[in-house]
Amino acid sequence: MSGWKITILCCHYTNEAMAEDLADIPAKIEIKSFPCSGRIEVSDILKALEAEAEAVLVAGCEKGSCHNRSGSMRAEKRVEAARKILEEIGMEPERVQMAFIPRLDTGAFVAAAKKTFEKLLDILPKGETTS
Amino acid sequence: MIIAERKPLARILQMIAPFERVAIIGCRGCVAICSAGGDREVEILAAALRLARKRAGRPLQTIEETFVRQCDPEYLTPLESLKEKVEAVVSLACGVGVNLAADLYPDLKIYPGVDTSFYGANPSLGQWEEKCRGCGDCIIDMTGGLCPIARCAKNLLNGPCGGSQGGKCEIRPDVPCVWHLIYERLKKRGELEKLTQIWPAKDWTPAGHGGPRERVRPDLQFNNNKK
């Protein structure tokens, strides 16, 4: 295990993955579901980082398939806003990733989580944590 | 409404550097409407400051509150008890709110979290445009409701200037020339004669010459205990 924690903030409809689906990723994975990714606020992303996550993945429905029409597009804008804040305080904006996932596609969800982990490999020396 | 924008985080972090317990206080007036200082922005700023300070090895405790307004003394009264709980306050109200709090609670260390920018309108989501400069001598009855003081880069009273090209401003070519708009508007209304007069140099006295401006309504000054 890398000792890293990745928090996934996702729309309830994008994820059916269980802990075993994510077991290949050598990091602690925390999943927080929201009724819609459009409900995920910039502060939720920042609070996840404050709560020891090295990276945050925001997962919303594929564009055009959101129950609430524009939820995942709102989420994408909040990810951009959170990244700007990270830049302002000297953190790597790549710590926050956005993924558009086909509804309940576990494979795509796991792939997005892996990609987030790989981003961390790019920006953090192995074993380094923010805490 | 009064338009404001959050100050750079580095600047706010510098202001609160000596403190470990800070209140972030929003305002549900103009700054909430222009998404600079309402409940949501308070929560975001507090989280960002805590995260930055945690990484710097100097954790910060925050109290987050949003007042109904910060430009009326009665809504600022919670600051009295807040003084006991925190070392400093970052206010996301406009400069009016911060000034009033500083006047009323002189022993409170209060810092501005936003830059107060202008009086503006909200023509579409996420966009605010200056429409009034508060110059104290409104002339828009003569200009079709469009203000050349606020909306002309040169504040011209007898525009347009020679730089207006194709209805656009020469200073910022993406901005409409307000004098062009005024001409078109008055022409459509059949009021072009309003442009035949030459305006003398503007008297800027009502705009703040002589110090802070005041407005008094004696008929409302009953049991006034504000001062």
Tens digit of pLDDT for each residue in B133-171?
Answer: 999 999 999 999 999 999 999 999 999 999 999 999 999
CA distance to A54, B120, B183, per residue, from B145 (Å): 53, 15, 12
Number of other residues whose CB lies within 10 A of the CB of residue B9 = 21
Bridge partner list, B25: B65, B91
Q: Which of B118, B148, B178 is the last residue of a domain?
A: B118
Amino acid making up residue B16? I
Number of domains in chain B: 2
Give pLDDT, residue A103.
85
Q: What is the pTM of this model?
A: 0.94
Q: What is the mean pLDDT of residues A101-130?
A: 86
| DSSP one-letter code for B95 | H
Rounded to the nearest angstrom, the gap between the alpha carbon of residue B216 and the centroid of all alpha carbons in its chain is: 22
What is the phi/psi pair of residue B56, to 5°? -85, 0
Task: Place A131 in a pLDDT band, splitting at 50, 70 and 90.
Answer: very low
Q: Is residue B44 part of a domain?
A: yes
Structure tokens at B168: 């656009």
- Give the three-state DSSP class for B151: helix
CA distance A57 to A79: 9
Same-domain check for residues B54 and B138:
no
If one compares A18 and A75, the residue with the highest pLDDT of the two is: A75
Q: Are strands B127-132 and B114-124 parallel, antiparallel or unpaired?
A: antiparallel
Same-domain check for residues B13 and B65:
yes
C-beta of residue B173 within 8 angstroms of C-beta of residue B143: no
Q: Which residue has the tokens 């990276």?
A: A55
What is the phi/psi pair of residue B165, to 5°? -130, 125
- Name the residue of chain A whose CA is nearest to B39's CA: A43
User: Which residues constitute the domain of residue B63?
Assistant: 2-118
Q: Could you tell me which of B109, B114, B111, B155 has the C-alpha nearest to residue B132?
A: B155
Whether residue B82 lies within 8 A of chain A, CB to CB, comes out as no
Same-domain check for residues B54 and B145:
no
- Give the three-state DSSP class for B212: coil
CATH of A5-123, one of 3.40.605.10, 3.40.50.2300, 3.40.50.960, 3.30.365.10: 3.40.50.960
- For B217, residues 6+ apart whose C-beta sits below 8 A from its C-beta are none
One digit per residue, the tens of pLDDT, for chain B of length 227 reads 999 999 999 999 999 999 999 999 999 999 999 999 999 999 999 999 999 999 999 999 999 999 999 999 999 999 999 999 999 999 999 999 999 999 999 999 999 999 999 999 999 999 999 999 999 999 999 999 999 999 999 999 999 999 999 999 999 999 999 999 999 999 999 999 999 989 999 999 999 888 999 999 999 997 665 55
CATH number at residue B18: 3.40.50.2300
Contact A89 B40 (CB under 8 A): no
C-beta of residue A59 within 8 angstroms of C-beta of residue A9: yes
Whether residue B55 lies within 8 A of chain A, CB to CB, comes out as yes
Same-domain check for residues B45 and B82:
yes
Whether residue B57 lies within 8 A of chain A, CB to CB, comes out as no
Whether residue B192 lies within 8 A of chain A, CB to CB, comes out as no
